[in-house]
Amino acid sequence: MKQQQLNETVAFLKSAGIKNPKIGIVLGTGLGKLVDEIAIEKEIAYAEIPNFPQATVEFHSGKLIYGELSGKKVLVMAGRFHKYEGYDLWEVTYGIRTMHALGIQNLLISNAAGAINLSYKKGTLMLIEDHINLQGDSPLAFKGANVFGNIFADMLAPYSKEINQKIKTIALENNILLHEGIYTSVVGPQLETRAEYRMLQILETDAVGMSTVPEVIVAKQLNLPCAAISVLTDECDPKNLQPVDISEIIAIAGKAEPKMILLFKELIKII
Ligand code: HPA
């Protein structure tokens, strides 16, 4: 049933001209400008793709973009799906399974996140080195999930050490401050209480957000090497918590975006 759904989606996209993409990219909140750097060959709204979930959050445009970036064929999800929009985790990760079935060999993810580690300032980038899943759910927990791969996927290294090393080198060469750390995913969409931020500090996570982890778990089931970078958009200090405004989060993500774009573009040249 689910396999058939996916087959239909993939057959449609192949017939629409999406052939052999090498790298899949998921663009997070306020991080859509990478698309301007792509020599676009095909742009397909999620609404036109059979069985594809529809993006509901207004600042996510919701389209799949295929083209060339840094000399490689890339497939970009401009707009992702979150559990907080009311999707189940199969739907949240449907795009990852679709891109994998179309042949991507690496997955690059971006997101906006709050800084729990208070030495990491807003507007800086963090390379995700490990994660904590606080969404209370798994994208591999459904009947028949083993058709797609091992559901007992090990999580020893959910983020490719090899790709991360390349990203760190690029950051160093380009004078980009790139923190490294642990990302915790929560459901949202409300932000956290002071008590929850204190809990996250005790958990020794460095950042918190509402995405990415389900996508990475699916990539792991599919043996798809992946890397993820957070833009830290706010500082989550429980002793001095400021009201967070989603438009400010988007604005800060936008300011950090050129650094993210540079890292992705340079990386794509060498993977
Ligand atoms: N919490 C959860 N998600 C977020 C935050 C935050 O503080 N900032 C950006 N995304």
pLDDT tens readout for residues 73-125: 999 999 999 999 999 999 999 999 999 999 999 999 999 999 999 999 999 99
Per-residue burial over 124-135, b if 16 or more Cβ lie within 10 Å, else e, is bbbbbbbbbbbb
pLDDT of residue 55: 64
**Region 29-36 average pLDDT:** 86
Q: What is the residue with the minimal CA distance to atom 6 of ligand 1?
A: 114
Cα dihedral 183, 186, 191, 195, rounded to 10, equals: -80
Q: What is the residue with the minimal CA distance to atom 2 of ligand 1?
A: 209
pLDDT of residue 8: 97
Confidence check: pLDDT of 186 > 80: yes
Q: What is the residue with the minimal CA distance to atom 7 of ligand 1?
A: 114
Q: What is the residue with the minimal CA distance to atom 8 of ligand 1?
A: 114
Residues 6 or more apart whose CB falls under 8 angstroms from that of 30 comprise 59, 112, 231, 233, 249, 250, 251, 252, 253, 254, 257
pLDDT of residue 61: 66
Ligand 1 near 208 CB (within 6 A): yes
Q: How confident is the model at residue 64 (pLDDT cuts 50, 70, 90)?
A: very high
Ligand 1 center–CA 76 separation, angstroms = 23
Confidence check: pLDDT of 58 > 60: no
Q: What is the residue with the minimal CA distance to atom 10 of ligand 1?
A: 113
Percent above pLDDT 90 for the chain: 87
Q: How confident is the model at residue 59 (pLDDT cuts 50, 70, 90)?
A: very low
Ligand 1 near 113 CB (within 6 A): yes
pLDDT tens readout for residues 123-173: 999 999 999 999 999 999 999 999 999 999 999 999 999 999 999 999 999
Confidence check: pLDDT of 22 > 70: yes
Written as six digits, the tokens of 151 are 């559901």
Confidence check: pLDDT of 6 > 60: yes
Q: How many CB atoms within 10 Å of residue 245? A: 10
pLDDT of residue 178: 98
Ligand 1 near 191 CB (within 6 A): yes
Instruction: Evaluate whether the domain defined by 2-270 bears CATH number 3.40.250.10.
Output: no
Ligand 1 center–CA 236 separation, angstroms = 8
Ligand 1 near 236 CB (within 6 A): yes
135, 249, 250, 252: which to mutate for ligand 1, most atoms within 8 A of CB? 249
